[in-house]
């Protein structure tokens, strides 16, 4: 059965693949014609119809002649040239393809033919993809998937080469979109404090729950600036807490009213009279306290009223002189 994958390749490339697999003795003078006929037969079985069309058979013969003249297959030089490039070199596949064609084309001029240039570019792109995937496989967590997404590798290829599900890819894409949205938010926050001192800018970001890593990256400050801002914020927080506690204490003291010894005699008599009126309505401590609070009776006197009501007589006599 014909090799469907091979059938899709250009004839010249399939010929070169076959030649690269030959033993050198296969193209010796005594074996040359037999080898050409054997290769033609194999190509016929792959539906290239080399034996049927004279031009295609000539293409095979010329390729064999070129290999014999150079002393090695074209693909040897071509593959060596491709392998000499690193992933970083292949940022621009078209530039790499031109370099390969220029370098290898010095020995193999036919590589400069336009239809072969397309194959070179495709090979460079596939090699770059292979190198990208190899690098992605070495990254921990979802780093490899993220790398391929950033490099605009198609979803189908990412799923296939990384061995992941569509759901996993969708999850990573969603996380990336969330991070992009956060970057936009941080950029807007920074714009609001543009031109301000670093400490103020960092405090603004920390207050708005921006991560330290993102602050370091987007605010263009060092860790020292973050530490300084955090210390200042901590001091401000402590001062705020102190002021709030003082205010609460004052409020509590105001609500409690004056101590017994600070209540003037005339007011003491009025408070005691009010308490006795309240006793007429209830003997429940909770209710007594509520009504006393509503009547603005000092807490010190209310505590005596509910715990030692007998002392009210003593306080009353003392107030009367």
Shared domain for 238 and 269, answered yes or no, is no
Residue 3: predicted pLDDT: 46
The last residue of a domain, from among 93, 111, 139: 139
Shared domain for 203 and 263, answered yes or no, is no
The structure tokens listed for 239 are 């001062």
Helix crossing, 114-138 with 143-150: angle to 10°?
Answer: 150
Cα distance between residue 214 and residue 205, in whole Å: 10
Residue 5: predicted pLDDT: 47
Shared domain for 182 and 283, answered yes or no, is no
Cα distance between residue 19 and residue 2, in whole Å: 18
Cα distance between residue 302 and residue 269, in whole Å: 13
In a domain, 71, yes or no: yes
In a domain, 185, yes or no: yes
Question: What is the domain extent for residue 65?
Answer: 4-139
**13 contacts 20 by C-beta, under 8 angstroms:** no
Per-residue pLDDT of the chain (321 residues; tens, 9 = 90+): 344 444 569 999 999 999 999 999 999 999 999 999 999 999 999 999 999 999 999 999 999 999 999 999 999 999 999 999 999 999 899 999 999 999 999 999 999 999 999 999 999 999 999 999 999 999 999 999 999 999 999 999 999 999 999 999 999 999 999 999 999 999 999 999 999 999 999 999 999 999 999 999 999 999 999 999 999 999 989 999 999 888 888 888 777 778 888 889 998 899 889 998 998 888 899 999 899 888 888 888 889 889 888 888 888 888 887
In a domain, 156, yes or no: no
In a domain, 241, yes or no: yes
Shared domain for 17 and 72, answered yes or no, is yes
The structure tokens listed for 150 are 């950033």
Cα distance between residue 5 and residue 25, in whole Å: 28
**Is 56 in a helix, a strand, or coil?**
helix
Residue 261: predicted pLDDT: 86
The last residue of a domain, from among 255, 274, 304: 255
Shared domain for 73 and 107, answered yes or no, is yes
Shared domain for 115 and 190, answered yes or no, is no
Cα distance between residue 171 and residue 176, in whole Å: 9
**Is 84 in a helix, a strand, or coil?**
coil
Which residue's entry shows tokens 């330290």? Answer: 212
Shared domain for 64 and 30, answered yes or no, is yes
CB-based contacts of 63, cutoff 8 Å, min separation 6: 12, 15, 16, 19, 74
Residue 293: predicted pLDDT: 86
Residue 321: predicted pLDDT: 74
Residue 4: predicted pLDDT: 47
Q: CB count, 10 Å around CB of 163?
A: 9
Which residue's entry shows tokens 């205010």? Answer: 247
Torsion angle of C-alpha atoms 255, 261, 264, 267, degrees rounded to 10: 50
The CB-based long-range contact list for 120-127 (8 Å cut-off, 24+ gap) reads 120/78, 121/93, 121/94, 121/97, 123/78, 123/82, 124/82, 124/85, 124/90, 124/93, 124/96, 124/97, 124/100, 125/93, 127/82, 127/85, 127/90
**305 contacts 288 by C-beta, under 8 angstroms:** yes
In a domain, 171, yes or no: no
In a domain, 161, yes or no: no
Cα distance between residue 276 and residue 301, in whole Å: 12
Cα distance between residue 119 and residue 125, in whole Å: 10
Shared domain for 216 and 272, answered yes or no, is no
Alpha helices in 193-257 (DSSP H): 198-207, 212-218, 223-256
Shared domain for 113 and 62, answered yes or no, is yes
How many domains are contained in the chain? 3
Nearest to 169 by CA among 160, 182, 181, 178: 160
Shared domain for 199 and 249, answered yes or no, is yes
The last residue of a domain, from among 139, 161, 186: 139
pTM (2 decimals)? Answer: 0.65
Residue 182: predicted pLDDT: 96
Shared domain for 242 and 261, answered yes or no, is no
In a domain, 146, yes or no: no
Shared domain for 12 and 83, answered yes or no, is yes
Cα distance between residue 189 and residue 193, in whole Å: 7
In a domain, 162, yes or no: no
Measured CA angle at 93 (ends 17, 113), to 5 deg:
50
Rounded to the nearest 5°, which phi and psi values hold at 193? -120, 25
């Amino acid at each position: 059965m014909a090799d469907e994958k091979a059938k899709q390749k250009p004839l010249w490339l399939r010929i070169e693949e076959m030649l690269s697999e030959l033993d050198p003795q296969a193209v010796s003078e005594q074996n040359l014609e037999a080898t050409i006929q054997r290769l033609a037969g194999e190509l016929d079985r792959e539906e290239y119809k080399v034996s049927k069309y004279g031009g295609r058979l000539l293409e095979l013969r010329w390729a064999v002649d070129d290999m014999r003249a150079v002393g090695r297959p074209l693909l040897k030089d071509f593959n060596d040239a491709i392998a000499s490039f690193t992933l970083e070199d292949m940022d621009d596949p078209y530039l790499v393809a031109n370099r390969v064609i220029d370098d290898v084309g010095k020995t193999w001029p036919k590589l400069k033919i336009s239809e072969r240039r397309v194959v070179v570019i495709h090979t460079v792109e596939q090699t770059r993809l292979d190198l990208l995937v190899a690098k992605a496989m070495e990254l921990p967590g979802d780093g490899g998937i993220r790398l391929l997404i950033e490099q605009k590798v198609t979803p189908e290829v990412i799923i296939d080469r990384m061995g992941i599900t569509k759901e996993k890819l969708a999850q990573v894409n969603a996380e990336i979109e969330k991070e992009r949205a956060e970057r936009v938010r941080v950029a807007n926050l920074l714009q609001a404090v543009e031109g301000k001192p670093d400490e103020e800018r960092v405090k603004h970001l920390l207050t708005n729950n921006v991560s330290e890593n993102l602050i370091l990256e987007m605010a263009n400050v060092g860790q020292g600036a973050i530490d300084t801002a955090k210390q200042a914020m901590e001091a401000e927080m402590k001062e705020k807490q102190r002021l709030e506690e003082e205010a609460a204490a004052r409020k509590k003291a105001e609500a409690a009213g004056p101590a017994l010894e600070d209540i003037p005699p005339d007011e003491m008599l009025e408070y005691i009279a009010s308490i006795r009126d309240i006793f007429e309505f209830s003997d429940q401590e909770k209710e007594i306290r509520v009504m006393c609070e509503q009547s603005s009776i000092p807490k010190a006197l209310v505590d005596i009223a509910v715990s030692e009501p007998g002392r009210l007589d003593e306080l009353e006599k003392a107030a009367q002189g």
